[in-house]
Structure 1
Amino acid sequence: MDEVKIGEILLPGDEAEQGRQSERVRRRFWPVLKRAMRQVPFSRDLVAAYYCALDPATPTRVRGILLAALAYFVLPLDGIPDVFALVGFSDDVAVLTAAFAAIRGHIREDHYRAADIAMTDEPETRAAR
């Protein structure tokens, strides 16, 4: 996956695009994460990014970059289909790593605390948040 493509994926988009991505991420994040947990080496960071992206206090540009990366993560079809064991999430990892580098410092401790709680909660509890 080349840098130009990752750069295109991580465009923050306008408010309408962020709204579409936010809805897609909210709907599909937890089921996809459950499938990816063993293959994504930084699941805690990923869940904290989810909470950061949905936090209204997060700057719009940062929220847009995270929503774009998370929307790519939850897409059923992407560069390398996620059904392929071990390599299926490698393109997702590349996009997420680039997003984390671009927004460094914006995922706060409270996002990590929410991630820790969510990763130990039952799915019904997470959905209520």
Structure 2
Amino acid sequence: MDDIKIGEILLPGEESEQERREHKVRRRFWPTFRRAARQIPFSRDLVAAYYCAVDPATPTRTRGILLAALGYFVLPLDFVPDVLAMIGFSDDIAVLTAAFAAISGQIKERHYQKADEVMRDSVDS
């Protein structure tokens, strides 16, 4: 996967595109995350990114980039099938890493606190 493809994936998009992505991300994020949690080395950041993306206080451009990256993460079909052990999420990781670099510092402590709470609750259940 080259930088041009990642750049295209991470385009924030128009408001209607962001709404469509948000709906898809809200519906598919948690089932996809549960499958990927052991394979993604930055699960806490991923969950915090989810909360940042769905937070209305997050700037539009940041929301758009995160929703694009999370939308790619929840796609059932992508460049490298997610069912392949250990390498299946490598393309998702590349897209998410680029997104995190593009929105540097926009994921706030409150998003991480919510991520910690949800992840702690999922371990306890």
Q: TM-score range by the shorter chain?
A: over 0.9
User: Residue 120 of structure 1: CA displacement?
Assistant: 1.9
Which residue type is aligned with residue 27 of structure 1?
R
Partner of 2:59: 59
Q: Which sections of structure 2, spanning at least 5 residues, go unmatched?
A: none
- Give the SS at the match of 1:83: coil
Q: Give the TM-score, by structure 1 length.
A: 0.93
Aligned position for 1:47 = 47
Report Cα offsets for 1:18-49 as digits up to 9, x if no partner. Answer: 00000000000000000001110000000000
5+ residue gaps in structure 1?
Answer: 123-129
> For 2:68 and 2:94, how far apart are their aligned partners in 1?
13
Alignment of 1:1-129 (within 5 A): 1-122=1-122
2:72 maps to a residue whose letter is Y
Aligned residues: 123
- Distance in 2 (CA, whole Å) between partners of 1:72 and 1:44 is 18
- The 1-side partners of 2:92 and 2:17 are apart by 20
Q: Which runs of 4+ in 1 moved over 6 A?
A: none
Aligned amino acid, residue 96 of structure 2:
L
TM-score under structure 2 length normalisation: 0.96
* Whole-angstrom distance in 1 between the partners of 2:6 and 2:64: 14
Name the aligned partner's letter for residue 94 of structure 2: A
* Structure 1 residue 121: Cα displacement: 2.2
- The percentage of aligned residue pairs carrying the same residue is 73
